Structure 1
């Protein structure tokens, strides 16, 4: 998905806050949750999300969605990751 299309989709779906997030290469976060719903577009690098014992690898152009309070883990690829995320 393209960045402009993603931003339009977020607006249609009621995501009011948009944040650019970057994580360094090879870093990770163990299981955790956020109080907000998140939908993100990978811009650069790679992110592996672990949800319900299933890992999903996302790369540039991929979109991922997490429900509010959904427990997940994160692993960042060999070049790190940069993504644009809408929160609500």
Structure 2
């Protein structure tokens, strides 16, 4: 996926306008949660999303979804990471 495609998809699916976030090399945030669904696109570097279930590493052009209220820590690879993140109310697998 390209940056343009990510922004277009986020808009079409009702997410907030994406915000760019940069992480310094080899850093990791404290565990925390967000009260909204997060749609993430990796612009540069390696972005690692640590949860109690896994710690997948995402590369430029890859995306991931993180449900609201899931404890996680964001981590950057040795070259750092830059991501775009868009958020909205809801869950990945809503049932109706």
TM-score by length of 2: 0.84
The 1-side partners of 2:87 and 2:17 are apart by 5
- Give 1:17 deviation, angstroms: 2.8
- Give 1:52 deviation, angstroms: 2.8
User: What residue is the counterpart of 2:57 in the other structure?
Assistant: 57
**Which has the greater radius of gyration?**
2
Q: Which has the higher strand share?
A: 1
Aligned length: 88
CA contact (8 A) 2:11 2:17 kept: no
The 1-side partners of 2:31 and 2:38 are apart by 16
User: What residue is the counterpart of 1:37 in the other structure?
Assistant: 37
- Give 1:73 deviation, angstroms: 1.8
TM-score by length of 1: 0.91
Q: CA RMSD in A?
A: 1.1
User: What residue is the counterpart of 2:93 in the other structure?
Assistant: none
Which runs of at least 4 in structure 1 moved beyond 4 Å after TM superposition? none
- Give 1:70 deviation, angstroms: 1.2
Indicate the SS of the match to 2:61: coil
The 2-side partners of 1:62 and 1:20 are apart by 15
The 1-side partners of 2:28 and 2:39 are apart by 19
Equivalent runs, 1:7-86 vs 2, <5 Å: 7-86=7-86
The 1-side partners of 2:78 and 2:16 are apart by 31
